[in-house]
Structure 1
């Protein structure tokens, strides 16, 4: 009987490394809506930046009002300021380059500080018309009406008796008729006395008589009903 020769045991060696499969990376799904939104945001940001740049570059130097200017008063250089603003085409502001032309014109409406100046707010027409004379009338605080006097307002002046003169009845002979006038300018109250000087335009035939009344202090001012403007 033959004996099978035993094979010597194979010496244990290092284990053979098995190839490692690369990790599988799941492909991301593209979202068309998100991509479109990003594109719109980027485009919108660019357009907004462009508009901001254009707006900041298209600013204009215009005139502003820095002090109150009543109706009818002349505009002085001290009444005006300047500002750099981006204007809407519908806003008709006066360019700063026209400053010299504006000074000396009269306010057609009351000008308020902080507002832009427009050509429609000004006039070159004098408030003293042909056949009229300017009469300054000094009014004490008790003679000034509570309602505000403004240029263009129609008023009347009446002569009142002095301290040593008896009042005349309405039927007395020589009753003096009121003098009709138009307010041209209203001054500020004088410190201490509070007297206000009101420049009025009266007909050349009435102006000397009104000036005589004013010199005696025996005059009162009456304001016509609303709408009594000329």
Structure 2
């Protein structure tokens, strides 16, 4: 510092450091440019999210009284009051089920499929018709494990009952006509595999005139069950 500067500092009565250092400027803060489009989009997303949450809460809160099955019911069995119960559930629109008000209309109908305890009851699972129609007979057929189709046997499945030669039959015992005799039938019920043997019992409805013949084939062990192709295939 020169002598002139020192004399000036002394005259003003300020410290030398204050005289030397310049004023401190505050940092410049650049203002962010507002974008109206982004703000509008953000508000729209927030509003849409709020509507979605409201709809979800309404769906969860809306519950419907529906008919349930409280004990197992076999195929073809007539439903009674004791077989049915009720439950309040949030029902998906894609799921078809009897509402509790329809319970009286369900009593007296037959189970078209095996009904499990604790399940909801759907219109497709019951029928007012007997599974064995007028003019038909029910033939039980026992199938060994190697005779059971890999395709699950379900009520309504169309089948052919085929007469095959008995085991140990000689060629002379087989008729010259190689086309086997067949009987058309329809599956009414199929049991699970029996423990130990694996035998599956299938109840097949046939025309009343064919029932005795099919029963004789079963007794002789000369009957085989063949699945028909689904309708339209």
What range describes the TM-score normalised by the shorter chain of this pair?
0.5 to 0.7
The match for 1:40 is none
Q: Is the 8 A contact 1:74 1:104 kept in 2?
A: no
Q: Matched residue pairs, number?
A: 184
The match for 1:125 is 129
> 1:87 & 1:146 partners in 2: Cα distance?
34
What is the SS of the residue equivalent to 1:134?
strand
Of 173, 176, 187 in structure 2, the residue corresponding to residue 171 of structure 1 is 176
> 2:230 & 2:127 partners in 1: Cα distance?
23
2:217 is aligned with 1:190: no
What CA deviation, in whole Å up to 9, does each residue of 1:143-198 have, x standing for no partner? 1111111111111112222233125667349x752111111111121111111111
Provide the alpha-carbon RMSD of the alignment: 4.4
> 2:189 & 2:153 partners in 1: Cα distance?
9
What is the SS of the residue equivalent to 1:127?
coil
2:218 is aligned with 1:214: yes
The match for 1:84 is 88
**Structure with greater Cα Rg:** 1
Q: Is the 8 A contact 1:139 1:197 kept in 2?
A: yes
What CA deviation, in whole Å up to 9, does each residue of 1:115-167 have, x standing for no partner? 63233542111121221111111111111111111111111112222233125
1:67, distance to aligned residue in structure 2 (A)? 7.8
What is the SS of the residue equivalent to 2:132?
coil
The match for 1:148 is 152
Considering fraction of residues, name the structure with more helix.
Answer: 2
The runs of 5 or more residues in structure 2 that have no matched partner are 1-49
Q: Is the 8 A contact 1:65 1:117 kept in 2?
A: yes
Q: Is the 8 A contact 2:192 2:200 kept in 1?
A: yes
What is the SS of the residue equivalent to 2:215?
helix
What CA deviation, in whole Å up to 9, does each residue of 1:31-82 have, x standing for no partner? xxxxxxxxxxxxx9xxx7xxx79x96x7543223578878x54376787553
Single out whichever of 60-69 and 140-149 deviates more from structure 2. Answer: 60-69
1:224, distance to aligned residue in structure 2 (A)? 1.2
> 1:142 & 1:109 partners in 2: Cα distance?
25
TM-score by length of 2: 0.59
TM-score by length of 1: 0.59
What is the SS of the residue equivalent to 1:227?
coil
Q: Is the 8 A contact 2:79 2:110 kept in 1?
A: no
Q: 1:87 to 1:209 in 2, by over 3 A?
A: closer
Q: Is the 8 A contact 1:59 1:87 kept in 2?
A: yes
The match for 1:6 is none
